[in-house]
A and B are shown apart, each in its own frame.
Chain A
Amino acid sequence: MKYRVEHQTTYVNARPVSVGHNEARLTPRVTARQAVLSHAIQIEPPPSGCTTLTDYFGNTVTQFIFNQGYSTLSISAVNEVSLVAPQDASDPGPNWESLRSELAEHASAESLDAYEFCFESPRCRVAAEFAEYGKASLEPARPLRLVLVDLLDRIHRDFRYDAQATTVTTPVEQVFRQRRGVCQDFAHLMISVLRSCGLAARYVSGYLRTISAPGKPRLVGADASHAWLSVYAGRLGWIDVDPTNRQFTALDHITLAWGRDYTDVAPVKGVYIGGSSPQLQVSVDVRPVEERS
């Protein structure tokens, strides 16, 4: 499956800023299931300097500076990617207890790397209330994939999508109590539940296809950047699940970046000096590209 993604981010400042420093994570990652065919980032006005680097988690970061200031900053990322469906979607995976002890012992390089995603991070908690919530899905000897199916169902049943209920800074405890939120909140929530149960989960930022495949319901969160999570599954590697749409990802999710939570992978961030605070406009368009074969 091939996609062309256009992601436009515009900051409008009523009074021009004098200096701006920005960082964008808008280059899709190359994974076993995702190939990047082309990618380009266009910045207006042209920045005084621009470099790319790879961050701690392996994401590509574009850093750019404005010495001469700007009043409107627009960042447009155009990417083409191709996806293949997971091969082992029918494999239920190791049972969760064995994964938990594999992580606790972290004897192999993979499990040591995954262990990093078992702890609290700025936006995700490890706490009794989340462990308690997870308990109902953790039947003894249940394979991980079935644990996730159950958790996805319960989160879908217990929580409501509500774009008004939270902001980008709402703590996950509050999301948990008010049982409402958006994709970012659900990702943080499910990560907190899994980590509180001794499993490893990381936050994934990316996109959803804008118009759903024929015969399928429209996906929630398709006209902006999206977020979901990835869970460590031992021999199966990492399994991506989207709690907002109650599904395992396959051919509709395009991965930009991952980290411990939103703070590690915000698509665009930056600081500015002078001027007034900016108004943000974001538009995302994800279209399937005709595959000539």
Chain B
Amino acid sequence: MTAIDAQERYLSVPDRIRPAVYYEVYSPDGRIRPAWSDFVERLGHVSAEQLTHRSQQAEQLLEENGVTFNVFQEGRQAQRPWSLDLLPLILDAADWERLATGLRQRARLLERIIADCYGARELIRDGTLPPEILFANPGFLRQFVGLHQCGTSMVLCATELGRAPDGEWRVMADRADAPAGEAFALENRIAVSRTIPQELHDPMVQRLAPFFVAMQNTFKSLGRRLSENPRVVLLSPGSRYPYYFEDVYLARYLGYTLAEGADLAVRDDRVFLKTLAGLVPIDVIVSRGVERGIDPLELGGGEPHGIPGLLKVLRQGNVAVANVPGSGLIESPIFMAFLPRLCRRLLGEDLLLPSIATWWCGDPRQLEEVWRRLDELVIKPAFQASGGEEILAGQLDEAGRRELRDRISAQPHQYVAQELICRSALPVFHNGAIGIGHAAVRAFLVADGEDYNVMPGGLVRFAPTPDPMVLSISAGDGSKDLWILGDSPVHPVSLLSDAAKPVVLRRTSAVFPSRVADDLFWFGQSLDRADYLSRLLRSVIDRLTAESAADFPELPWLIRALADQGQVEAGFAIDSFVSLLPTLTEDLPRTVASVEEVRGLAAAVSEMERLASLERLWMSPDTSRKVRETAIAFRASADAGWSGLVDVLEAINGTILDLAAVSGLIHDGMIRGPAWRLLEMGRRIERARNTALLIRSITPDESLIERPVLKAILEVIDCRMTYRARYYDNIQQNAVLDLCLTDETCPRSLAVQLVSLAEHVDALPGEGESLLRTEEKRIVTSALHAVRMLAQEQLEQPPAQGLQELLLDVEDAMGQLSRVITRKYLLHSGIPRQITSGLELPQ
């Protein structure tokens, strides 16, 4: 079947919707609307199979993006709430221009309202607005009064639109409290452009990139007051927030550092980003978190995007925040009941783009109207952004309606009533067939001087019925791209590449937040810990599963090493271990699989996965994908249930290979910048500590190390091949210890870890003021020195005579180094906590 049939069958006006709704493609007389005529014609050349295939490709592309940007959600929560439909919504230039003019006027109006409500309050004094609009409004935050006196408050806003049966657009909601969705719109555009069949491309479609350029310019201009070249960060509530994906996507596209509250600090009346190299002053904060959480000092709470002391700096004018906190006020639907009046009062113009008809029940006259038409209306809380409770009075039974009337009568000022609109219908391609959906469009604006720029496009969501949709960006069944046709073919502009212009060469990224450094440092440690535990476990299980475990004299030593690592209970590491072997054999699968064993392999793997997903932005997509796969494979195997040690062995063998692949990807793919360094330092510290601990755990008190034990050491440290190449089967303590400890050509030796740590410590930023060595340099240098000073004889005599002590010192040094680095470079961050809760009790 070709799509031309589909078009004939489905793209005609379905009878059931004809009278009640506006149909985007066809006018009531059955003619194709001009904006759609080319598209519908071209759709005729595309087969349904082709469209299905391309849709799958688009989904895959989005899935890939999700994997790239997605964060640790334990694989459960989808970050992108809906599927993408390749068929766009198309508007012609004239239709759009009229809408855009209305959107700009509305944004200017809202801006004026915010400034007045948080400033002079003339609108309340002169009775244009009822005082309840502030006094009864939990969204009116008194801490924000006085922040809106200069410049634009509402830098970004989004408008939720539906097209009424008369063909006119109506505003269903205004968004100004960290409005989201523009990056989803961008992602949709990119995915559609890449996957839509060639036949359907339209050169007249206006590009989105200029809008993002306008955003950049606006942010820059906000910071001009503070700096010639303002530094902008995108403030995100972090990975636990459902739309974190969008934050990451947008930060990457606009080229801003993505920061969380803990990355920023107020010092000396400025806001700083905590980076590895110290504090970097920030001029502009684009906040993606709700305004109520922006400053936990003055507003309470502990939101992950909160910056204690921010409001003070903002009042002093030492930072610009977009949007200025308080802008979210106008999300309260009560404002919609007053907009036409406000528009004439504030702008001296008629409101061009009306809201859906709204009545505030607190006004006796408006309430009368509500009582009269109650059954046709939807009742909403007056002071909550749309999307919360919505009651369709017409759908209630008699008792429900009585209860609703009582609720409204008790506190009429708490409610608004709105008319229901039948949103316009448009074709959707769903499950291989063309059907009908009802659209909601989110339009985006950014301030530009006194006026606003409108994104020539938007986020379209559709639902199978025209019933009121929850107006969050996650609502609806699916989403679409919005095509605005220009008057002539559009020249491509993109932020992604500026082909003709060479850039200034750089070898480092601009800034590297301390939190990222912290995560990567611990990621490195977890990675190496997982690797080491796997090898140690493999050596133990290899022997336990042999015919007669008791025949391996090295087994008790290896088990002791496991106990010293905390993977098994210390009780197993005693001399009479043979009697305990059956218990150990039985117990081991559980302890290996359990993340509750905090020092065990499962915990190390899951910590590694968690940290990698938090910092996906700083690794190659392949690396983070491989980390995720490693963890998923391990977990899947453990969850399936290990019936015996052989199963565990198989899983661990897989994990060892997977981890090697991760190491390889890091080694090959990661830029030798601070991210890589911190990760490497974590790994080296962990490996040095484990090597020292292994040899210490495994060496006898008075005698030389026995041969089987030496063999096991080579196996766990992974130097068997090198050893055999050098010494064949002649296993001697001095040669084994040399290879594992002092040989600076063996990549797994203790010395090599320390050498490389010394190099990394030297390269840490922020040094140079002092001529003497810093604490971390002294720690590493002294450990390396001790290892290098090991004499031939010390490797030849029983380790208890001196070597043990040295190894213990190295372990301590590694612990110390980890603490110093954390304190010095990483740990200025943390979640702010309130001191008052439950404590200050006036009597």
CA distance A278 to B312 in the complex (A): 25
B399 within 8 A of A: no
Q: Known: A269-B834, A272-B833. Is A115-B309 also a contact (CB below 8 A)?
A: no
- Near B by CB (< 8 A), chain A positions 45-81 give 48-49, 51, 53, 55-57, 63, 65, 67
Residues in B with CB closer than 8 Å to A67 are 267
Q: Count of A-B contacts with CB under 8 A?
A: 131
Contact B841 A128 (CB under 8 A): no
Give the Cβ gap from B697 to chain A, nearest Cβ, in Å: 32
Q: Known: A56-B143, A120-B136, A223-B843. Is A18-B828 also a contact (CB below 8 A)?
A: yes
Name the residue of chain B whose CB is nearest to the CB of A260. B142
Q: Known: A63-B312, A183-B843. Is A169-B135 also a contact (CB below 8 A)?
A: no
CA distance A120 to B831 in the complex (A): 30
Name the residue of chain B whose CB is nearest to the CB of A65. B309
B830 within 8 A of A: yes
CA distance A274 to B266 in the complex (A): 16
A237 within 8 A of B: no
Contact B136 A119 (CB under 8 A): yes
CA distance A115 to B135 in the complex (A): 8
Contact A266 B836 (CB under 8 A): yes
- Near B by CB (< 8 A), chain A positions 189-244 give 205, 220-221, 223-227
B652 within 8 A of A: no
Residues in B with CB closer than 8 Å to A126 are 411
- Max chain A C-beta neighbours (<10 A), residue from B134, B300, B828, B842: B842
Q: Known: A115-B131, A116-B135, A269-B834. Is A23-B842 also a contact (CB below 8 A)?
A: no
Contact B135 A168 (CB under 8 A): no
Give the Cβ gap from A122 to chain B, nearest Cβ, in Å: 8
**Residue from A23, A51, A168, A226 within 8 A of B297 (CB atoms):** A23
**Residue from A57, A119, A271 within 8 A of B308 (CB atoms):** A271
Q: Known: A63-B312, A119-B136. Is A270-B268 also a contact (CB below 8 A)?
A: no
Give the Cβ gap from B822 to chain A, nearest Cβ, in Å: 12
- Near B by CB (< 8 A), chain A positions 133-187 give 163, 167-169, 182-184
CA distance A167 to B833 in the complex (A): 19
Q: Known: A63-B312, A119-B135. Is A205-B837 also a contact (CB below 8 A)?
A: no
CA distance A182 to B280 in the complex (A): 47
Cβ contacts A20-35/B at 8 Å (1 or 0 each): 1111000000000000
Give the Cβ gap from A60 to chain B, nearest Cβ, in Å: 15
B150 within 8 A of A: no
B302 within 8 A of A: yes
- Near A by CB (< 8 A), chain B positions 366-413 give 410-411
Contact A226 B842 (CB under 8 A): yes
Contact A225 B132 (CB under 8 A): no
Q: Is the interface of A mostly helix, strand, loop or mixed?
A: mixed
Q: Known: A56-B142, A67-B267, A112-B125. Is A269-B836 also a contact (CB below 8 A)?
A: yes
Residues in A with CB closer than 8 Å to B830 are 18, 273-274
Cβ contacts B280-314/A at 8 Å (1 or 0 each): 00000000000000001110101000001100100
B269 within 8 A of A: yes
CA distance A55 to B299 in the complex (A): 12
B248 within 8 A of A: no
Name the residue of chain A whose CB is nearest to the CB of B121. A112
Residues in A with CB closer than 8 Å to B315 are 53
Give the Cβ gap from A158 to chain B, nearest Cβ, in Å: 20
- Max chain B C-beta neighbours (<10 A), residue from A220, A271, A273: A271
A42 within 8 A of B: no
**Residue from B124, B266, B831, B840 within 8 A of A21 (CB atoms):** B266
Contact A273 B829 (CB under 8 A): yes
A118 within 8 A of B: yes
Interface size class of A (residues with CB under 8 A): 35 or more
Contact A51 B312 (CB under 8 A): yes
**Residue from B134, B296, B842 within 8 A of A221 (CB atoms):** B842
Residues in B with CB closer than 8 Å to A48 are 267-268
Name the residue of chain A whose CB is nearest to the CB of B268. A49
Contact B840 A106 (CB under 8 A): no
Residues in B with CB closer than 8 Å to A263 are 300
Contact A112 B827 (CB under 8 A): no
Q: Known: A115-B131, A270-B836, A273-B830. Is A21-B297 also a contact (CB below 8 A)?
A: yes
Cβ contacts A252-282/B at 8 Å (1 or 0 each): 0000000000111011111111100110101
Name the residue of chain A whose CB is nearest to the CB of B834. A271
A19 within 8 A of B: yes
Name the residue of chain B whose CB is nearest to the CB of A182. B843
CA distance A81 to B596 in the complex (A): 60
**Residue from A55, A225, A266, A271 within 8 A of B302 (CB atoms):** A271
CA distance A65 to B832 in the complex (A): 13
Contact A269 B835 (CB under 8 A): yes
Contact B842 A224 (CB under 8 A): yes
Contact B843 A226 (CB under 8 A): yes
Contact A271 B833 (CB under 8 A): yes
CA distance A282 to B843 in the complex (A): 11
Residues in B with CB closer than 8 Å to A65 are 266-267, 309
Name the residue of chain A whose CB is nearest to the CB of B831. A273
Name the residue of chain A whose CB is nearest to the CB of B146. A56
Cβ contacts B806-843/A at 8 Å (1 or 0 each): 00000000000000000000011111111111111111
Residues in B with CB closer than 8 Å to A120 are 136, 138
Give the Cβ gap from B687 to chain A, nearest Cβ, in Å: 29
Residues in B with CB closer than 8 Å to A116 are 131, 134-135
Name the residue of chain A whose CB is nearest to the CB of B302. A271
B265 within 8 A of A: yes
CA distance A184 to B838 in the complex (A): 13
CA distance A120 to B309 in the complex (A): 27
Contact A112 B124 (CB under 8 A): yes
**Residue from A18, A20, A168, A274 within 8 A of B839 (CB atoms):** A168
Give the Cβ gap from B319 to chain A, nearest Cβ, in Å: 15
Give the Cβ gap from B363 to chain A, nearest Cβ, in Å: 13
Residues in A with CB closer than 8 Å to B302 are 271
**Residue from B827, B834, B838 within 8 A of A167 (CB atoms):** B838
Contact B841 A11 (CB under 8 A): no
CA distance A9 to B836 in the complex (A): 12
Name the residue of chain A whose CB is nearest to the CB of B124. A112
B145 within 8 A of A: yes
In the assembled complex, 16 residue pairs joining A and B whose CB atoms fall closer than 8 Å, in A order, are A9-B840, A21-B309, A23-B297, A49-B268, A57-B142, A112-B125, A115-B131, A116-B134, A119-B135, A120-B136, A128-B410, A205-B842, A226-B842, A269-B300, A273-B830, A278-B839
Q: Top 10 closest A-B pairs, CB basis?
A: A56-B142, A271-B832, A21-B308, A225-B842, A269-B836, A224-B843, A119-B136, A273-B830, A221-B843, A280-B839
Q: A115-B135, A278-B839 are in contact. List 6 more A-B contacts (CB 8 A).
A: A169-B838, A225-B842, A269-B840, A271-B302, A273-B832, A282-B840
